[in-house]
Amino acid sequence: MASDRPPNADSTPDDPLAALEQERRRRQAAGDVEGEAEILMQQAIFYSLQGEWPRSLACLDDIRQLAARATQPAMAARACQLRAQILSLTDGTPEQIEALYAEAATLYEQAGQPAQAAAVRSRVTDPEPSDAPPSDPAAAAIAQLNQMVSQFNQGFEQLLASPLMDAVPPEQRLAMLDNQATVYLDIGQPERAEACLQQGLAIALQAENLDWATRFQARREALNAPAGSSSPLDPYSQLLASLQQEEAKPIAGNEDLKMALQALQQNDCSRCLQLAMGVYQRALAQPVDPASTLRYMFACFFIAFAREGLGDQAGTISILADCAAGLDAVQNPGLAAETRQMIEGLKVRWGNQAFQKAWQIYQLQEKLRRS
């Protein structure tokens, strides 16, 4: 089988697709039909996420052949359903797509799953309106794949959680996790969305990808805002609360930031300040690149949190203002604006009267520093 899925001559054991193929052959040799079909489904989804539709469809054809040989109608139904979804995103005709959904419904009935059959038939009889607004094809593909796989509790989630994904370029993994989080939010599963965002943030920090790290952090803050609140937690408090719950890991490859986070979580503000100041001073002396900018920004945040914990509110404002100015200087106006929003958020966190008092002290200190 799979004769029309050409082998990748450059595959190595570290290649996730090569590893999946090895596992498929192992299960085939063991006579594990369902196990082989499960791996083929993961291959199909992986190829779909790569936009390699012919290879994905070839995997699904293999699943249908396996199902026919093993008399597994539910297995064949899943393959038909995913095949219909792929064709709806590529060059399939309405007649082809409708026929596949109808076949899937019949197969579900044969498998004794009338509820699934009814759900598929409702999709056939009530298709999406043809005048629906267009959407990003990649996002639509991932949304449909996630919806299908979620129903059967296999495939895409297993693939994302697999160690094989370590070989996938970080940018692609981050995009997949970002889209999956959106899907989970759309279907009312915020806990799974949070897990995707947390995983994405960890990967982005490890890869020193500042843009993705900022995006995942912002989405987590929005997701964790109090339900029904007309004024969610201020950005400063949101970031602090999020970091206090994070597993301590190197940030942008920096062990001192990891230890600073641990100190912050242990309420050892003096230790956190000492470590963060060291990172801050070294970052100022380094050439500007995404990694040094990320270290600089987090060092500033940790300094702010530590100073606040030590009762230095004016110093908290000062380091955040310096951080915003530094980010402007290295052409990161978006991050600079978000940092200034954190300063504004201190009005909510401390109350306006306390903030104004700290602000006046900060301004006085700035005048003395510049004089």
Residue 342 CA to chain centroid, in angstroms? 24
Q: Do 149 and 262 reside in the same domain of the chain?
A: no
Q: What is the pTM of this model?
A: 0.46
Specify if 190 maps to a domain.
Answer: no
Task: Indicate if 144 and 273 belong to the same structural domain.
Answer: no
Note the pLDDT of residue 299.
94
Give the model confidence (pLDDT) of 124-162 as tens digits. 544 443 333 444 544 554 455 455 444 433 445 555 555
Check whether residue 148 and residue 20 sit in a common domain.
Answer: yes
**Is 208 part of any domain?**
no
Say whether both 28 and 146 belong to one domain: yes
Q: Is there a domain that residue 76 lies in? A: yes
Q: Give domain status of residue 174, yes or no.
A: no
* pLDDT score at 359: 92
Q: Is residue 254 part of a domain?
A: yes
240 and 147 part of one domain: no
Residue 112 exposed, middle or buried by CB count within 10 Å (0-12, 13-18, 19+): exposed
Per the DSSP assignment, residues forming a β-bridge with 254 are 251
Structure confidence at residue 183 (pLDDT): 59
Q: What is the mean pLDDT of each run of 10 residues along the chain (371 residues)?
A: 38 57 87 84 74 83 86 84 76 85 89 83 50 45 49 48 58 73 66 83 79 78 58 73 72 83 91 94 85 87 94 94 91 85 88 88 85 67
Asked if the structure places residue 206 within a domain, the reply is no
- 254 phi and psi angles, rounded to 5 deg: -105, 115
Q: Please give the pLDDT value at position 229.
A: 43
Instruction: For residue 21, tell me if it sits in a domain.
Output: yes
Q: Of how many residues is the chain composed?
A: 371
Task: Show the DSSP H helices in 92-225 as ranges.
Answer: 94-110, 114-125, 137-152, 156-161, 170-186, 190-206, 210-223
pLDDT score for 331: 82
pLDDT number for residue 274: 95
Residues 257 and 151 in one domain: no
Selection from 110, 32, 51, 35 nearest residue 76 by Cα: 110
Residue 35 belongs to some domain of the structure: yes
- Are residues 153 and 20 part of one domain? yes
Q: Output phi, psi for 189, to 5 deg.
A: -125, 70
Domain of 87, CATH number, reads 1.25.40
Residue range of the domain that includes 276: 235-370
**366 shares a domain with 254:** yes
3-class DSSP assignment, residue 251: strand
Terminal CA-CA length for the chain:
80
Q: How many domains does the chain have?
A: 2
Q: Given this model, what pLDDT does residue 353 score?
A: 85
Q: Do 149 and 267 belong to one domain?
A: no
